Amino acid sequence: MAKRRKLIAGNWKMNGLKADGVALARDLAGRLRAAGGLPAELLVCPPATLIWPVAEAVAGSGLAVGGQDCHPMAGGAHTGDISAAMLAEAGCGHVIVGHSERRQDHGESDALVAAKAAAAHAAGLVAILCVGETGAERDRGEAGAVVARQLGGSIPAGATAANTVIAYEPVWAIGTGRTATPADVAEIHALIRAELVRRLETGSAVRILYGGSVKGANAGALMAVPDVDGALVGGASLKADEFWAIATSCP
């Protein structure tokens, strides 16, 4: 079986104005050029307003650019929303869908997340589809069941290893400094792998990222866990040194 190339994705969330965002992206692109590329693939997902200038600033460097969300429809009367095709035109190759902050803040259901992922696929984007249990669900022993249910409801027809990445992000580990232990991560990633293999012809090749308080200091241990094919990084992706340390922790 082909080795899955690791993907290190930075989710900037609602942070950064143009000068800082472009400078951060340029810094990373410069490091990537100087290194002649890395074993891992590198991606940044800036706020929507910065996608275009960031994509222009890093063009040709190998640093990929993605969106943080898209609308399920291709166009129409949807004030404030952005379509997958708009992201693609602005320079994105990826889009995050179903992040827990979207699921919580905007009440996004599994069905809506599946529709967004399908829209991403139709526009030629890779959907980074997020799943993960809350702290209360973990305490009740329901982590595996919640993740399996989210996968069942959020993976659209037509998903393949080429157009879909899964991100396991336990909600209680996001932005808290509390990271899941390598044993917890191994257990859930194995469960996700089994679900993917059961559901998709190319399930064994789909990349599964871990997210939740990943930083330079813990990345090496997390990236060495079986079936961890990269990281989705929030806070630490806003600091070039931290993000680079995570990126270079991958063999």
Encoded amino acid at 25, one letter: A
Whether 71 is catalytic is no
Q: Does 232 bind ligand PGA (CB under 6 A)?
A: yes
Catalytic residue, candidates 94, 99, 121, 189: 99
Whether 169 is catalytic is yes
Q: How many residues bind ligand PGA (CB under 6 A)?
A: 13
Which one, 107 or 177, has the nearer CB to ligand PGA? 177
Cβ atoms 116, 70 nearer than 8 A: yes
Task: State the minimum distance, in angstroms, from the CB of residue 208 to ligand PGA.
Answer: 14
Closest chain position to ligand PGA (CB):
234
For 152, how many CA atoms within 13 A lie in the half-sphere containing its CB? 7
Q: Does 67 bind ligand PGA (CB under 6 A)?
A: no
Cβ atoms 67, 46 nearer than 8 A: no
What H or E segment, with its residue span, contains residue 8? strand 7-11
- The backbone torsions φ and ψ at residue 234, rounded to the nearest 5 degrees and listed phi first, read -95, -95
Catalytic residue, candidates 133, 169, 195, 242: 169
Length of the chain measured in residues: 251
Q: Does 234 bind ligand PGA (CB under 6 A)?
A: yes
Closest CA to 162 of 214, 131, 222, 203: 203
Q: Does 174 bind ligand PGA (CB under 6 A)?
A: yes
- Separation between Cα atoms, residue 173 and residue 168, nearest integer Å: 11
- Candidate list 108, 154, 235, 243; residue touching ligand PGA; CB under 6 A: 235
- Candidate list 37, 124, 152, 175; residue touching ligand PGA; CB under 6 A: 175
What H or E segment, with its residue span, contains residue 137? helix 135-139
CB atoms within 10 A of CB 200: 17
Region near ligand PGA per CB under 6 A, out of 38-46, 53-61, 184-192, 210-218 = 210-218
- Candidate list 212, 225, 229, 249; residue touching ligand PGA; CB under 6 A: 212
Name the site residues for ligand PGA (rule: CB under 6 A).
Answer: 11, 169, 174-175, 211-214, 232-236
Instruction: Show which residues are catalytic.
Output: 99, 169
